[in-house]
Amino acid sequence: MLARLDKRLLYAMRTRFHGPRRESFAQGLAFLGEYGWIWLALGAAFALLDPDMRGEWLLAGLLGPFAIGLNYAVKLLVRRQRPVLEGLPPLGGAPSSLSFPSAHSTASFAAATAMTRVDSSAAVLFALAALIALGRPYLGMHYPSDVLGGALLGTALGLLVPLDLLL
CB within 8 A of 106, min separation 6: which ones? 67, 68, 70, 71, 150, 151, 153, 154, 157
| CATH annotation of 2-83+91-160 | 1.10.606.20
Q: What is the mean pLDDT of residues 64-88?
A: 95
Question: Could you tell me the residue ranges of all domains in the chain?
Answer: 2-83+91-160
According to DSSP, residue 76 is labeled H
The tally of CA atoms less than 13 A away on the side-chain side of residue 106 is 25
Please provide the average confidence, as pLDDT, over all residues in the chain. Answer: 94
Q: For 34-54, how does the pLDDT look when each residue is reduced to its tens digit (9 = 90+)?
A: 999 999 999 999 999 999 999
pLDDT of residue 165: 65
Strand partners, 88: 85
Does 167 score more than 50 pLDDT? no
Give tens-digit pLDDT for 86-103.
999 999 988 899 999 999
pLDDT at 166 over 70: no
| Spacing of C-alpha 84 from chain mean position | 20
Work out the pLDDT band at 2, boundaries 50, 70, 90.
confident
Is omega for the bond preceding 95 within 30 degrees of 0, making it cis? no
- AA identity, residue 107: A
- Among 71, 80, 84, CA closest to 34: 71
